[in-house]
Amino acid sequence: MTDMTIEVRAPFDGRLIDTVETSGAEAVEAALDTAYRLFRDRNAWLQPAKRVEILRQAARLMTDQAEHLAVEAAREGGKPLIDSRAEVARAIDGVLNASELLRSEGGSVVPMGGTTASLGRIAFTTHEPVGVVVAVSAFNHPLNLIVHQVAPAIAAGCPVIVKPAEATPLSCLRFVAILREAGLPEAWCQALVTESREVTGKLVTDPRVGFLSFIGSAAVGWSLRARLAPGTRCALEHGGAAPVIVAPDADLAAAVPLIAKGGFYHAGQVCVSVQRVFAHRSIAARLARELGDAAGKLRVGDPLLAETEVGPLIRPGEVARVHEWVEEAISRGAELLSGGSPLSETCYPPTVLLEPPPDCRLSTREVFGPVVCVYAYDDLDEAIGRANALPYAFQAAVFTRDFATAFHAYSHLDGSAVMVNDHTAFRVDWMPFAGLRQSGLGVGGIPYTFRDMTIEKLFVGKMV
């Protein structure tokens, strides 16, 4: 790494993939000046029909390049190729979703005439772009997260500056190039890999920024939010320690593979990965054993191989950290049912623990690795209380055949979404996706992000 470039290396074996130029304070200032001037010139705004055309053409280009995009994302991010292909398909659908919003998300009529003061008036609203959007993204979905932040900004008519994760900038740069090939003028979407956190801070906190979209760690996100200029809106997407409740009547044959998928997909590096499973005492040991068996059968290795189901962690330091947390839990009484030892400097096996102590790090913090903990409970409300006990709340799940149990869990769990008979990591990109408490601020999902990136502007006309 030099002062002017960073090396992008494959997390599985450290191979050099590419080098990328970094941007300092001068480049950030130039990007902000370009974007803000564009936003302030209303005559230069892209018309809705043009935005639709660009997004549709981008989706077509992405479809043509789908396999290349999947391989590139798998190489730089470490997600297995089978899952990277699914990510690319989601990203293409997300771009199309953004293009459709311009036909479905309109203003509204505000009734007049209901009071003497409002007689003889007509009122309606339209949408306008909120301003310059700055999008700071994470590594774990290097293409789809960028789409979630950038495509709604384009649909809304906002100039956007996007900063991808340093570990995975290539998918972002590829997507920006595709947008430009699709007809988007360069100034409307600028990608910067900033050279330091200080420079990122200058980008985010500048008063010319109208909206910050941040996906990443809670510590960084909340710190940036506290430093935003007055009037800058924001949405923060952090992580959690997603809870699953398994009732005694649950279909374990169906539940186990779903819990395994939700816990070990992308080596657990997902903000809503299954981490804490609360199973009724009558089935907890069996569930943990079967989950351990399922975990042990997953193939870990090179993400570019078709047979790989679990890839590496993003960097070796994360393997060491996850192992330290696992060893702590075992030393304090947790029973190890699968995994538990690094496979290499970069890969950690899918790991299942039964009854870690409630105050260890695996029980109280987001592991962001391939570890699932199982805890026995005696009473449903006890399980819900334990699930709700942490300062994080995002997506949760319950497995049961009983509607009353499902609805009771839905009504009492703190998550913004509760899945019934499915894992916590389920998502389609047009549904609301919201971290609560320390897990985030605002509502994600492409239509919701689009609304955040617009203002509703009122017209009131008086008849003369």
Q: How many alpha carbons lie under 13 Å from residue 16 in its C-beta half-sphere?
A: 7
Helices 218-226, 197-205: axis angle to 10 degrees equals 50
Tokens read off for 387 = 């699930």
Structure tokens at 140: 């774990």
Token pair 């988007």: residue: 184
Torsion of CA 72, 73, 78, 79, to 10 degrees: -130
Catalytic positions, written as ranges: 237, 271
DSSP state of 358: T
Q: Is 355 exposed, middle or buried (0-12, 13-18, 19+ CB in 10 A)?
A: middle
User: Which residues partner with 300 through β-bridges?
Assistant: 310
Let me know if 411 is exposed, middle or buried by CB neighbors in 10 A (0-12, 13-18, 19+): exposed
Rounded to 5°, the CA angle 45-47-53 comes to: 125
For residue 188, give the DSSP letter.
G
- Mark residue 323 as left, alpha or beta (left: phi above 0; alpha: psi -120 to 50; beta: remaining): alpha
Residue showing tokens 């409970």:
377
End-to-end CA distance of the chain: 69
**Would you state the torsion angle of the CA atoms of residues 199, 205, 210, 214, taken in this order, to the nearest 10 degrees?**
70
Question: Partners of 60 in the beta sheet?
Answer: none
Selection from 178, 170, 176, 203 nearest residue 31 by Cα:
203
* Residue type, position 160, single letter: V
